[in-house]
Amino acid sequence: MSNAYFQFKHFTVWHDRCAMKVGTDGVLVGALAPSQGFKRILDVGTGSGLIALMMAQRCPDAEITAIEIDESAASQAKENFASSPWNERIHLVLSDFNEYETDEPFDLIVSNPPYFADALKNPDPQRSVARHNDTLNYYQLFLQARKLLQKSGLCCLIIPTEMADFVNEMGARNHFFPKAVTHIFTKPGKPCRRLFITYWRGDDYDLYYPDKLQENTLYLMDADGKYSTEYRLLTKDFYIKL
């Protein structure tokens, strides 16, 4: 049984009432997302609130909105926000992302989205909503993100590597194009399992230049199975000990 909470350097994430616990994917989104110059950030499917809290720590001038459809998870995320140093800058919204509206657009959207499109569903309804994309598939995510982002805004997602072509196609249909991608490996010699992609929202395809795509590689562990130096540096402001 996992612990009821995860202690970071500057905040605590309680997740015992959330379907999805604190995990590496969420930490990677919070650590890899760009952080400079953003004033309004939206965390889609916040769950325990982990990514919203990390973005609040990294972006001291930003207002963070965290949206969650599951009432239990939303309640716990709100408690996590309230006990953090940034409670005045993080706002929880209990809502279906597909129905969410705002009068003021965001300049950055971050998400660790549900991704098991064809996998056998979990018998636990709460966990099923968190892990499957019936309630929020990639096309819907980009479609709604386009409505909520300002022009030239960014949308950052972590996805399984094998979904890249499909997700990029869903993005392009809604005028989102990859600006940067980090290929994430567990360790040397293992296949790439995750991609962290920053999408640029543009209405004019001529302004997008694929040859300028920024590509990086991140190994979570070294050949000896210890956390890599690059991962330690990436997360040093968050983990108490790694």
Question: How many domains would you assign to the chain?
Answer: 1
Binned at pLDDT 50, 70 and 90, residue 219 comes out as very high
Q: 241 in a domain, yes or no?
A: no
Q: What is the pTM of this model?
A: 0.89
pLDDT of res. 20: 87
User: Pick the residue with more confidence: 120 or 98?
Assistant: 98
d(CA 102, CA 104): 6
Binned at pLDDT 50, 70 and 90, residue 114 comes out as confident
pLDDT greater than 70 at residue 8 = yes
Q: 66 in a domain, yes or no?
A: yes
pLDDT of res. 242: 82
pLDDT greater than 90 at residue 127 = no
Report, as an integer, the average pLDDT of 118-138. 48
pLDDT of res. 148: 97
Q: 25 in a domain, yes or no?
A: yes
Residue pair 24/235 in contact by the 8 Å Cβ criterion? no
Looking at every residue in the chain, the average pLDDT score rounds to 89
Residue pair 240/8 in contact by the 8 Å Cβ criterion? yes
Report, as an integer, the average pLDDT of 209-226. 88
Report, as an integer, the average pLDDT of 97-101. 95
pLDDT of res. 170: 95
The number of beta carbons lying within 10 Å of the beta carbon of residue 24 is 14
Binned at pLDDT 50, 70 and 90, residue 212 comes out as confident
Q: 138 in a domain, yes or no?
A: yes
pLDDT greater than 70 at residue 239 = yes
pLDDT greater than 60 at residue 112 = yes
pLDDT of res. 118: 40
Q: 240 in a domain, yes or no?
A: no
pLDDT greater than 90 at residue 66 = yes
pLDDT greater than 80 at residue 44 = yes
pLDDT greater than 70 at residue 175 = yes
pLDDT of res. 81: 98
Q: 242 in a domain, yes or no?
A: no
User: Mutual orientation of helices 138-148 and 164-173 as an angle, nearest 10°?
Assistant: 40
Give the domain CATH number at 87: 3.40.50.150
β-pair partners for 195: 159, 183
Q: 184 in a domain, yes or no?
A: yes
* Least confident interval from 14-23, 77-86, 182-191, 201-210: 201-210
User: Residue 210 sits in which domain range?
Assistant: 5-235
